[in-house]
Amino acid sequence: MKDDFWYKNAVFYEVAVRAFKDSNGDGRGDLRGIAEKIDYLQILGVDCVWIMPIYPSPLKDDGYDVADYYGVDRAYGSLDDLKGLIEAAHSHGIRIIMDLVLNHTSDEHPWFQSARSNRSAPYRDYYVWSDTDQKYKDARIVFVDTESSNWTWDEQAGQYYWHRFYSSQPDLNFDNPKVQDEMLNVARFWLDIGIDGFRVDAAPYLFEREGTICENLPETHAYLKRLRSFIHEHYPGRILLCEANQWPEDVRPYFGDGDEFHMAFHFPLMPRIFMALRRGEVGPIRWVMQQTPPIPPDCQWCTFLRNHDELTLEMVTEEEREWMWKEYAPDLRMRLNLGIRRRLAPLLDNDRRRIELAKSLLFTLPGAPIIYYGDEIGMGDNLDLFDRNGVRTPMQWDSSPNAGFTTESPYTELVKGDLAFRNVNVTAQLRDPHSLFHTIQKMIALRRRHAAFGGSSMEWVEIGNPTVAAFVRKNGDDVVLVLSNLSHDVQSVVVPPQYREDCLDLLSSCVVSLGAELELRPYSYLWLQLPNGE
């Protein structure tokens, strides 16, 4: 595992630890459970697993409310279990990254307990306090469905404290050099254990300044660069992946000159893949790719369709958001904050063609794709569950009681209805050569074999039909023309003269002779390898 640039053409996989596999019969998934399933992840073909927070936590935000940065919540196992998981993963050629929650702690963290006790408490200055709730008025509220202000009055402290997320998550004060150093110690601790990097939670919010939106501030970038240079110096080959739900031009600085993050999620692309699929029109994807600036050569975008949060609609216009809600969240229970709390398969009406097409786009557009656990088998969601818990239900391993997730009663209700475990599960899909799992496995294997997908080059091909996405990916001699029919009708496209050749259809392994015109079945996609150096 020596390649320092491994992330550039990697396939990532996000795991909610509590939901993946219970190894000890307490009804909750744990680190040993993931280790038990490493073979499965290897068969799927993923290169790196991102595990959601495992820190001790009161779980008011599923572990993003950290009560101790130097431990593992007993529900998930122990530090030794984490080491065991990393070892098991590495022996299968898989890396493990975890969340680094810099911006805030739980209100149950001992630092906050000390800080709130009195004004001269040693940890008082670890948090952001004020006598008024009128400061930083330009900062938006993220959890609009649950919070009405970014300030909460603390009776014991006799002051307001600042928080960008739930009021149970007070923000750390990064103006305090001790906080800055402490968080480097946290990073060091996990890197010494062997973790391959971090998904840095809520990166834009570290500092507050009056008269700004308190996001993306120069001070924040300066600190993140310090974190990067620390990693670069002491832990080469480990990565930082940025969670900044921002427009591409605001995310771009998080890559710096190749001296800040290695990777950043591409938030604005995600809803536009769904828009394009619903409208049957490539416009939204082309638009967002045009807005996407080039990034330094050692950096990479991380692209995704779904994750553990709501499908966020922050990076669209208000009009587009209303349209997305109307199309994809007709039942009001599906809406949450500025997004949609549904999984991939139900969002696409469990239509196999559209699910495959969405994945095909994910795997062929620039960036390193990440799969949300369970989406490779088309798992459903459970709208009866609170907030985002509806998309964090137990992995559906087989058709035995409790989906093979646990031998005891699971921590939560499972998915009900058509996409429940008796219909949708890993064991059945592994057995069926035509399953969604196998299609995705194939896409991953092809991606791995073709350097074109890991490069940065992408050129749109004019084929005279806006219903079809047509682009070429190229890296050295490897050139792949990708065609995707976004509509439910047969579409024909004009093949530009330079592509009228014999090419290899990568998904079927057949040779296709491209003529002047080509017909594409509804929602079909083709990955065509062009003769060398086209």
Which one of residues 165, 205, 274, 328 is an interface residue with ligand NOJ (CB under 6 A)? Answer: 165
Which one of residues 19, 67, 86, 202 is an interface residue with ligand NOJ (CB under 6 A)? Answer: 202
Closest CA to 111 of 208, 60, 186, 166: 186
Under rule CB under 6 A, residue 375 binds ligand NOJ? no
* Token pair listed for 449: 């074999």
Closest CA to 88 of 23, 25, 185, 26: 23
CB-nearer residue toward ligand NOJ: 12 or 165: 165
CB-nearer residue toward ligand NOJ: 61 or 381: 61
CB-nearer residue toward ligand NOJ: 64 or 453: 64
> What is the smallest separation between the CB atom of 155 and ligand NOJ, expressed in angstroms?
24
Quickly list DSSP for 137-197.
TTSPPS-TTT-S-SEEEETTTTEEEE-SS-TTSPBB-TTSHHHHHHHHHHHHHHHHHT--E
* Token pair listed for 475: 């890296």
Under rule CB under 6 A, residue 215 binds ligand NOJ? no
Q: How far apart are alpha carbons 11 and 44 in whole angstroms?
A: 10
Which one of residues 30, 309, 310, 356 is an interface residue with ligand NOJ (CB under 6 A)? Answer: 309
Closest CA to 217 of 322, 103, 316: 103
> What is the smallest separation between the CB atom of 201 and ligand NOJ, expressed in angstroms?
5
> What is the smallest separation between the CB atom of 393 and ligand NOJ, expressed in angstroms?
16
Q: Which residues belong to the active site?
A: 201, 243
Under rule CB under 6 A, residue 372 binds ligand NOJ? no
**Radius of gyration of the chain from its Cα atoms, rounded to whole angstroms:** 23
Residues 82-121: x where in contact with ligand NOJ by CB under 6 A, - otherwise, as a string: -------------------x--------------------
Bridge partners, residue 50, by sequence: 14, 97
Under rule CB under 6 A, residue 64 binds ligand NOJ? yes
Q: How far apart are alpha carbons 146 and 126 in whole angstroms?
A: 25
Closest CA to 359 of 282, 293, 277: 277
Closest CA to 73 of 51, 103, 97, 40: 51
> What is the smallest separation between the CB atom of 408 and ligand NOJ, expressed in angstroms?
26
460 in Cβ contact with 482 (< 8 Å): no
CB-nearer residue toward ligand NOJ: 301 or 372: 372
Question: Taking CB under 6 A as the criterion, which residues in 43-62 touch ligand NOJ?
Answer: 61
Question: Which stretches of the chain bind ligand NOJ, using CB under 6 A?
Answer: 61, 64, 101, 165, 201-202, 243, 308-309
